[in-house]
Structure formats: structure tokens, C-alpha cells
Amino acid sequence: MSDAIDLSEKLSKFSDHWSPRTVAQFNDCDVMVVKVQGEFVWHKHDDTDDFFLVLNGVLDIQLRDRTVTLSPGQMYIVPKGVEHRPVAKDEVHLLLIEPTGTPNTGDPATAAPRKTA
């Protein structure tokens, strides 16, 4: 159980969008894979930076003043408190890292439940 974590294999286990799966714990953070497609909601996290690494596809991270476009092997960290909206024209696979318990929408009322893969 505690051996190599294969991100592609973890991604192959589910097909729904915007529902991150935790694959490991790093200190107080969840390391997650997620499939996304379409437009997410504008949101921010007041207490944490937001780590995005693209594994497959092309992701736009819209900020209020510009858009950061990420291809596979590219990453971006949205600073805490900064409003952002991830947008994926086609399906994108991501590695995400956030403190355990962080609501993915920035709001517990609308956040996806944390699942494991």
C-alpha cells in the first residue's frame, strides 16, 4: 500500500469531472489527481496557496487580470487570496495539492467531497 503511486493508474479509476481523488498525504496536505472539463467557478482560498500541475491536456487558469495557460509538465501556484477560475476546453488531468479539508470551491457549502483513488 505504501509503495509507488502511479498517477495515470489512479486517473484511470474514475471519469467524473471536478471531483479530486486523494492519492497521498504530504504533511497536512492532500495530494490529489482530478479530471476537469469546462468552466469551474470563480473562487479563492484565503488560507492556502493552490498548487496545479498539468499531467494531460491544456488548462487555463483565469485570474482577474490575465490567464495562465498550462500544458503538460507545467505548473502554477495560485497565491492565497487570489481569485481564480480553472477552465478546460477539453479534458485535463491535474495533480493538485491543498491542505486537507480545503473546499475546492473555496466554500464548504459547494465543495466536492474528498474522495480517495
Binding site for its own copies (CB under 8 A): 3-8, 23-27, 31, 48-49, 51, 53, 55, 66, 68-71, 73-77, 80, 95, 97, 99
Measure the CA–CA gap between 7 and 9, rounded to whole angstroms.
5
Nearer to its own copies among residue 60 and residue 109 (C-beta):
60
Nearer to its own copies among residue 27 and residue 109 (C-beta):
27
Measure the CA–CA gap between 33 and 76, rounded to whole angstroms.
15
Give the type of residue at 103: P
Nearer to its own copies among residue 77 and residue 110 (C-beta):
77
Smallest distance from its own copies to CB 39, Å = 19
* Degrees, nearest 5: CA angle 30-53-17: 70
10: helix, strand or coil: helix
Smallest distance from its own copies to CB 18, Å = 21
Smallest distance from its own copies to CB 1, Å = 12
- Any idea which residue has 500544458 for its cell? 71
Give the type of residue at 67: T
Nearer to its own copies among residue 71 and residue 110 (C-beta):
71
